[in-house]
């Protein structure tokens, strides 16, 4: 609980409408995009300018009160859930686009600006901001930086870390950090990379300078159906080996295809085990050359059907099914749980087979949607939260999928972040020395552990306790840790 003295000091820093602590006002902030995790915040602050953010940080630091930063609340890893006794710092009101420089191809924006709003604001200059997480209509750029968000186009255009130049951020003791520059690099350590994806654990961002790219002259998509997921997986590698870097390369399995088709009638073939969507973009002639290559490779890789979108309308229809895959799967089941592992692409057939075996074992269906180009797998586990024990079963199943991703040389999170959700699986991916270094990186910025405590990096005792319950192949993870 926060002390009345602290709360009154907090109120003195902000206009009355920017501090919420009535229960009905707090409820909308009890979870982020992963609704299975909830905790009602003690207090929510919505600063309207950078000076207020700095003042809040200083006050919290002085009183040793935890601060949890939140953008639009679309995160999928429970990273913005406030712990008890923490201040939830909502940056949504810092939503101005401060400057657009079309010639230098940059925009300076506040953290609450929506991802898509940047591209909309610069469209008149024929520019756009490349990272496009599926929540781009709602998610904010501050959250994107905190999570190092990706999207459909990462293989070609990179993640958030590749598309930002400069940050203004505040440490917990209220010091301003100006990281990066208007040039392409800055002196010293690459703190821009370190802060990107740090999940609100190191500093709070109040300004982001993003890189803008010229809109591609043309984009075209090819759809290919396969009677075998292994063939589809191999086709992905073959396209890349042929020297094409697609702008987007997506794969869906049978259940995902059926669900998407029933929902949006994209015209997908239904008698197939896997569907690939391969989009190429760029200069007109480059697209023509790449489409030719892609079609040849798909046919040689055993596709049973290959279709090229002949119009913009058809291109959008091909994509509509993929983009609606999550809600489409949502119609099949009262609830679904979206996982986010990344694997080396060659492991795809093996991983899908194991997921299918686990699906039988847990008695829960899975639809697989896959950013095939960059190896980022989104299995959607179908369950019914109203059935006692099903959520726990879905979570356990999801955890097993993430451990499988690590086992084949991948990672537990490709773009959603660790948050609270995957904190146990961090113990699988990293050994004690690495986790210790992560804690030390944190301590270099925030020795009192006030920023987003309990997220992203597990305490070592947590790994010891959790590891004791998950003995794998007779080997106890983190054997050097004391257990009680």
Partner 1 sequence: MLDVYIERIRSAHEHNTPLIIEGCGSKAFYGNPDEGEVLSTRKFTGVIDYQPKELVLTARAGTSLAEIEALLAEQNQMLAFEPPHFGGPATLGGSIAAGLSGPRRPYAGAARDFVLGVRMIDGIGQPLRFGGQVIKNVAGYDVSRLMVGALGTLGLITEISLKVLPKPAAETTLQFELDEATAIGKMNQWAGQPLPLSATSWHAGLLTVRLSGAASAVQSAQAKLGGEAVKDAASFWQRLRDQTTPFFDTRSSTSRQSLWRLAVKPTAPPLTVSNRLGGDAQWIEWGGAVRWLVSDRPAATLREAARAAGGHATLFRGDTPADGVFTPLAPALLTLHRNLKQRFDPRGIFNHGRLVPEF
Judged on CB neighbours under 10 Å (0-12, 13-18, 19+), 17 is exposed
Q: Applying CB under 8 A, which of residues 95, 148, 220, 368 lies at the interface with partner 1? A: 148
Residue 479 binding partner 1, by CB under 8 A: no
Q: How many residues bind partner 1 (CB under 8 A)?
A: 95
Which residue of 457, 464, 466, 467 would you call a contact of partner 1, by CB under 8 A?
457
- Piece in contact with partner 1 (CB under 8 A), picked from 32-40, 68-76, 276-284, 470-478: 276-284
Site for partner 1 in 318-357 (CB under 8 A): 342-346
> Cβ 1 to partner 1, closest distance in Å?
31
Print the SS3 string covering the chain: CCCHHHHHHHHHHCCHHHEECCHHHHHHHCCCCCCCCCCCCCEEECCCCHHHHHHHHHHHHHHCCEEEEECCCCCCCCCCCCCCCEEEEECCCCCCEEEEECCCCEEEECCCCEHHHHHHHHHHHCEECCCCCCCCCCCEHHHHHHHCCCCCCHHHHCCHHHCEEEEEEECCCCCEEEEECCCCCCCCCCHHHHHCCCCCCCCEEEEEEEECEECCCEEEEEEEEECCHHHHHHHHHHHHHCCCCCCEEEEEEHHHHHHHHHHHCCCCCCCCCEEEEEEEEECHHHHHHHHHHHHHHHHHCCCCEEEECCCHHHHHHHHHHHHCHHHHHHCCCCEEEECCEECCHHHHHHHHHHHHHHHHHHCCCEEEEEECCCCEEEEEEEECCCCCCHHHHHHHHHHHHHHHHHHCCCECCCCCCCCCCCHHHHHHHCCHHHHHHHHHHHHHHCCCCCECCCCCCCCHHHHHHHHHHCCECCECCCCCCCCC
Q: How far is the CB of 418 from partner 1 (least distance, A)?
A: 6
CB of 232 to partner 1, least distance (A): 14
Q: Which of 11, 58, 162, 393 binds partner 1 (CB under 8 A)?
A: 162
Nearer to partner 1 among residue 59 and residue 418 (C-beta): 418
Residue 398 interacts with partner 1 (CB under 8 A): yes or no: no
Of the candidate residues 197, 200, 246, 379, the single one contacting partner 1 (CB under 8 A): 197
Which of 93/215 has CB closer to partner 1? 215
Query: Where does this chain touch partner 1 (CB under 8 A) — which range of 26-34, 280-288, 309-317, 350-358?
Result: 280-288
Tell me: does residue 460 bind partner 1 (CB under 8 A).
no
Least distance in angstroms from the C-beta of 217 to partner 1: 4
Binding flags for partner 1, 80-119, as an x/- string (CB under 8 A): ---------------------xxxxx--------------
Exactly one of 171, 308, 314, 333 binds partner 1 (CB under 8 A); that residue is: 171
Smaller CB separation from partner 1, 9 or 105: 105
Based on the shown chain and the rule CB under 8 A, indicate whether residue 296 belongs to the binding site for partner 1: no
Residue 198 as a binder of partner 1 (CB under 8 A): the answer is: yes
Residue 145 burial (10 A CB sphere; 0-12, 13-18, 19+): buried
Among 53, 87, 113, 154, contact with partner 1 (rule: CB under 8 A): 154
The answer to whether residue 159 forms part of the interface with partner 1 (CB under 8 A) is yes
Give the binding range for partner 1 (CB under 8 A) out of 22-30, 66-74, 415-423, 476-484.
415-423
The pattern of x and - marking residues 39 through 58 that bind partner 1 according to CB under 8 A reads --------------------
Nearer to partner 1 by Cβ, of 20 and 372: the residue is 372
- Is residue 186 within the footprint of partner 1 (CB under 8 A)? yes
Using the rule CB under 8 A, is 308 a contact of partner 1?
no
Which of 7, 193, 304, 391 binds partner 1 (CB under 8 A)? It is 193
């Amino acid at each position: 609980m926060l002390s009345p003295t602290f709360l009154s000091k907090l109120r003195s820093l902000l206009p009355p409408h920017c501090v919420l602590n009535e229960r009905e006002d707090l409820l909308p902030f009890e979870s982020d995009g992963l609704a299975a995790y909830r905790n009602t915040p003690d207090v929510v602050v919505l600063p309207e300018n950078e000076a207020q953010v700095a003042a809040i940080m200083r006050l919290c630091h002085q009183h040793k009160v935890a601060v949890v930063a939140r953008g639009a609340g679309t995160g999928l890893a429970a990273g913005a859930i406030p712990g008890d006794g923490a201040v939830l710092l909502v940056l949504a009101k810092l939503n101005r686009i401060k400057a657009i420089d079309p010639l230098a191809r940059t925009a300076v924006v506040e953290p609450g600006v929506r991802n898509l709003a940047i591209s909309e604001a610069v469209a008149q200059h024929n520019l756009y901001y490349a990272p496009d997480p599926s929540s781009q209509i709602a998610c904010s750029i501050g959250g994107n930086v905190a999570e190092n968000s990706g999207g459909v186009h990462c293989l070609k255009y990179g993640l958030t870390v590749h598309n930002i130049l400069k940050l203004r951020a505040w440490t917990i003791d209220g010091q301003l950090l100006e990281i990066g520059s208007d040039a392409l690099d800055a002196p010293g350590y690459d703190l821009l990379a370190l802060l990107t994806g740090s999940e609100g654990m190191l500093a709070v961002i109040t300004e982001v300078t993003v890189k803008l790219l010229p809109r591609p002259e043309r984009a075209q998509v090819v759809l290919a159906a396969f009677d075998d997921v292994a063939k589809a997986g191999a086709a992905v590698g073959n396209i890349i080996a042929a020297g094409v870097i697609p702008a987007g390369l997506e794969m869906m399995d049978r259940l995902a295809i059926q669900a998407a088709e029933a929902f949006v009638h994209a015209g997908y073939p239904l008698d197939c085990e896997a569907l690939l969507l391969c989009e190429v973009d760029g200069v007109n002639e480059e697209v023509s050359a790449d489409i030719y290559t892609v079609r040849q490779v798909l046919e040689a890789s055993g596709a049973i059907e290959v279709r090229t979108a002949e119009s913009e309308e058809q291109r959008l229809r091909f994509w509509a099914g993929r983009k609606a895959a999550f809600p489409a799967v949502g119609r099949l089941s009262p609830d679904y749980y979206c996982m986010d592992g990344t694997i080396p692409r060659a492991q795809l057939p093996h991983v899908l087979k194991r997921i299918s075996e686990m699906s039988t074992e847990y008695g829960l269906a899975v639809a697989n949607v896959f950013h095939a180009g960059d190896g980022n797998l989104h299995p959607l586990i179908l369950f019914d939260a109203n059935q006692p024990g099903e959520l726990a079963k879905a979570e356990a199943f999801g955890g097993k999928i993430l451990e499988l991703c690590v086992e084949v040389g991948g990672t537990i999170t490709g773009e959603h972040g660790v948050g609270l959700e995957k904190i146990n699986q961090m113990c699988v991916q990293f050994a004690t020395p690495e986790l210790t270094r992560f804690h030390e990186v944190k301590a270099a910025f925030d020795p009192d552990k006030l920023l987003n405590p309990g997220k992203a990096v597990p305490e070592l005792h947590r790994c010891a306790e959790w590891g004791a319950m998950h003995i794998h192949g007779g080997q106890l993870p983190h054997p050097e840790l004391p257990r009680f």
